[in-house]
Amino acid sequence: MAEESGVTADLPVKRQREDGESEDNGGVSVSVELEDSGCNHNELENMSSVIPGWFSEISPMWPGEAHSLKVEKILFQGKSEYQNVIVFQSSTYGKVLVLDGVIQLTERDECAYQEMITHLPLCSIPNPKKVLVIGGGDGGVLREVSRHASVEQIDICEIDKMVIDVSKQFFPRVAVGYEDSRVTLHIGDGVAFLKAVPQGTYDAVIVDSSDPIGPAQELFKKPFFESVAKALRPGGVMCTQAESIWLHMHIIEDIVSNCRQIFKGSVNYAWTTVPTYPSGVIGFMLCSTEGPTVDFKHPVNPIDADESHCKSNGPLKFYNSEMHTAAFCLPSFAKKVIDSKAK
């Protein structure tokens, strides 16, 4: 899913207490030594806070809670044109990529997100040939798309080159997707890129966006979904990151409502578990355009039945056909809201 530098998002980082000083912030302080990367400490004011040796993800999008990871070492911090970017070594989840104070991926659990956002749509249609990825600068979705032998063309449009460069340096097993000869990289705004795409170009569009704040805001709005639908062939599919059922049902309601107006084929919501994402789960909106029927719940192109893709990208760690179908089973509270938008 997604872009910033430093060690907090909305609360300023505070220096460690000196002997004799009183704590005025409930014990929140920084005891992690930041490596010299050309950033001064004033540039680190908008990052998720760290309490002695821990990174805590704090955001108004999940008020009243925070998920923390123990920090072994800060490996990179920088500020791109769009966001702050940080990479740190955690104690239990390997290296961690943080954008604007929000965890985008960790080495341990990235498979649960990358594999599901890719194979849920691509395994639901026979022989996908042309695929567009919007966002996904870390390269993980590219890695998964490249497992499909039928795919002939993989375009990716990522707005922030720093995310790509940092991912190639610190997450080579994720960014390996860029090494596929079928991949063409476009650095730029995904909204503008889609508007210029000829009608009916792609079999699938995968939108790997961060949360609907900052540079990703436009990727959750109705005009963007209209552009996606136009870029897809009849019976083509879209899969987009669609937030958490535990935290963002109001956002999900809007996404479902917009997609049901625009996509005249199938419209479904699926979800997966990612321990380091807020609430531990993340969802996907899957839609198809009018044309050949798409039954997202029952894959017709099972990637886990063929192991030839494992040679360059390694075995699948999370996705299988049973997980595919199970992803569309919703808890009652979410099912009630999402089904109501079908009327």
The residues annotated as belonging to the active site are 208
Give the H/E segment covering residue 222. helix 222-231
Q: Which residue has the tokens 């019976």?
A: 235
Tokens of 115: 């594999």
Question: How far apart, in whole angstroms, are the C-alpha atoms of residue 215 and residue 128?
Answer: 29
Strands (E), 181-280: 183-187, 202-208, 232-241, 267-273
> How many Cα atoms within 13 Å fall on the side-chain side of residue 18?
2
Backbone φ/ψ region at 101: left (φ over 0), alpha (ψ -120 to 50), beta: left
What the block records as the tokens of 331 is 């808890």
CA 253, CA 255: separation in Å to the nearest integer? 6
**Pair of tokens at residue 44:** 């680190």
Task: Please state the separation of Cα 42 from the chain's center in Å.
Answer: 28
Half-sphere exposure of 37 (CA within 13 A, CB side): 21
Return all residues near 319 (Cβ < 8 A) that are at least 6 apart. Answer: 115, 116, 119, 303, 304
Output the CA–CA distances (angstroms, integers) from residue 277 to 12, 268, 269, 273, in the order listed. Answer: 21, 21, 18, 8
Q: Which parts of 80-198 are beta strand (E)? A: 84-90, 95-99, 102-106, 130-135, 153-158, 183-187
Number of other CB atoms surrounding residue 178 within 10 Å? 19
DSSP single-letter state for residue 293? -
